[in-house]
Amino acid sequence: MIKKIYQVAIGIAVCLGFVACNCNQATSNENKSRSSYQIKVTTPPRPAGQTDVLNLTTPKMDTVRVGIIGLGMRGHSAVERYMHVPGAKVTAICDIRPEMVEKAQQVIEKAGHKRVAQYTGDENAWKALCERKDVDLVYIVTDWKHHVPMALYAMEHGKHVAIEVPAALDMEQIWALINMSEKKRLHCMMLENCVYDYFEITTLNMAQQGLLGEVIHGEGSYIHNLDDFWTEYWNNWRLDYNAKNRGDIYPTHGIGPVCQALNIHRGDKMNYLVSFDTHAFRGKEVYKRVMGKEDPNFQNGDLTVTMIKTEKGKTIQIQHDVVTPRPYSRMYQLTGTNGFANKYPIEGYLIQPESIAKDEVPNHENLSTHSFMPEEAKKAMMEKYKPRILRELETKAKEVGGHGGMDFIMDYRLIYCLRNGLPLDMDVYDLAEWCCLAPLSKLSLENGSAPVEIPDFTRGAWNKQKGYKHAFAN
């Protein structure tokens, strides 16, 4: 009997050892094995003679001369903000609608400036703006389908470009922007304002200071019922785009701040994604109400969820929902080995009490390991870890406005970096990584939620820079 028990014990030990061995082997071979079931996405070779534009710098400018294309909702407010950005001068404006151009000219005059060159009345009028010699930066705020043609033409004519979100809609467009930016050695930045939200940028600083430990998971979203806004888009282009396209078609607000905290293409990279979506239950109803007709082939699911795995074994979850009656949310969560940050619906932090000095926050003894820290402690932590950008710009940003001021900070930082010959806060590879979720989530959904490879848009340079950072002149 004893001999039999001994033999069973040995067998169990051998089995456990075998399982452990296989688990370790599976872990070490994860990147190799996943290639057998992933949908591969082509990475075109870099054109001969080109190199990456990581940390790209260009000659300093005393004044950045700006041409703005698109003067609707976002474009008109951009003209207003640029009247307050030091070192920026709007020299040309363009919109297909003459009345929008006139409204922008009135904003410029009200700010005490002379009227600027204007282009309107024709779908190709913007080309003349891009060709002007007194324009250094073309600021593109049009409907989505015009973003890439305008940006490519502007860079061909020697202009830096800043493009409203999403900058590109498919992989062909994404690679075209990368190649042109690398060819011309010009900045191509996406205007992602949410990375400058006060909570997000302060939490980023906390993460960079190690307060959250190792950040291992992030969440983001664009959850915004657009019932009050659909008809404000010229020719109903945005609702029409939802009708014709499946997937997370507007991912950048959610994924941008998370990617910065996870140092994507600055020490880590996104490897693959898997997407799921619901049927278009309410989307079809919204389309019928707004457009006055049915679309039985309405493509965009009411809710799309995308999961992402990184090279360093971290995870990201992104959601898109613009039709259901959910409260506005960008979700924004960071989970670290030593702390947790959350913006919606409760803005707060949970940080291991032993990681915070007793004199660092009031009522340290009330800090918990299973609930958010008290509001006064949160405020103390946010004040202590307020980043330099906010210390310098928060008051002015709140005065100028634009989504609470984060739009002004975005514009200020873009001009500041161009004037000082510094790398921009967001480069063309950020643009690519954040925009690629749209076409790649669609590819996953159309193949039964299969895993889809996410290309390395830096083409091998994703680990060259160690950690995300903002550049300063001094």
What element of type H or E holds 44? none
CATH number of the domain at 254, please. 3.30.360.10
| Domain total in the chain | 2
40 vs 37: CA distance, rounded Å: 9
In this structure, are 123 and 239 located in the same domain? no
Return the pLDDT at 359.
77
Q: Give me the pLDDT at residue 360, please.
A: 80
Q: What share of the chain is helix, strand, coil (3-state, %, to 5)?
A: 45, 15, 40
- Are both 199 and 100 inside the same structural domain? no
Q: Which of 190, 209, 224 represents a domain boundary (last residue)?
A: 190
Same domain, 185 and 199: no
In a domain, 437, yes or no: yes
Which residues fall within 8 angstroms of residue 51, CB to CB, at 6 or more apart?
182
Output the pLDDT for position 2: 41
Vertex 322: Cα angle to 449 and 246 (nearest 5)? 35
Query: Does 465 fall in a domain?
Result: no
CATH of the domain at 135: 3.40.50.720
Q: How far is CA 128 from CA 53, 154, 280, in A?
A: 27, 10, 41
d(CA 287, CA 282): 9
pLDDT digits (tens), the chain, 474 positions: 444 443 434 343 333 343 344 444 444 455 555 566 899 999 999 999 999 999 999 999 999 999 999 999 899 999 999 999 999 999 999 999 999 999 999 999 999 999 999 999 999 999 999 999 999 999 999 999 999 999 999 999 999 999 999 999 999 999 999 999 999 999 999 999 999 999 999 999 999 999 999 999 999 999 999 999 999 998 999 999 999 999 999 999 999 999 999 999 999 999 999 999 999 999 999 999 999 999 999 999 999 999 999 999 999 999 999 999 999 999 999 999 999 999 999 999 999 988 888 878 887 877 878 889 999 999 999 999 999 999 999 999 999 999 999 999 999 999 999 999 999 999 999 999 999 999 999 999 999 999 999 999 999 999 999 999 999 998
pLDDT of 448 reads: 97
What lies within 8 Å, CB to CB, of 335 at 6+ separation is 215, 216, 217, 218
What pLDDT does residue 34 have?
Answer: 58
Whether 408 is in a domain gets the answer no
Q: Which domain holds residue 131?
A: 64-190
pLDDT for the residue 209: 96
Q: Which of 138, 170, 190 is the last residue of a domain?
A: 190
Query: Is 16 inside a domain boundary?
Result: no
What pairing do the DSSP bridges indicate for beta strands 304-310 and 270-277?
Answer: antiparallel
Residues 126 and 150 in one domain: yes
> Are both 369 and 381 inside the same structural domain?
yes
In this structure, is the dihedral angle defined by the CA atoms of residues 417, 418, 422 and 424, taken in order, positive or negative?
Answer: positive
Residues 251 and 278 in one domain: yes
150 in the same domain as 134: yes
Residues 172 and 215 in one domain: no
My answer on whether 100 and 210 are in the same domain is no
Residue with tokens 């103390």: 380
**The tokens of 25 are what?**
């082997």
Q: 219 and 78, same structural domain?
A: no
- Cβ 449 vs Cβ 305: under 8 Å: no
Same domain, 223 and 185: no
Out of 160, 190, 220, pick the residue that ends a domain.
190
Residue 297 falls within a domain, yes or no? yes
349 within a domain of the structure (yes/no)? yes
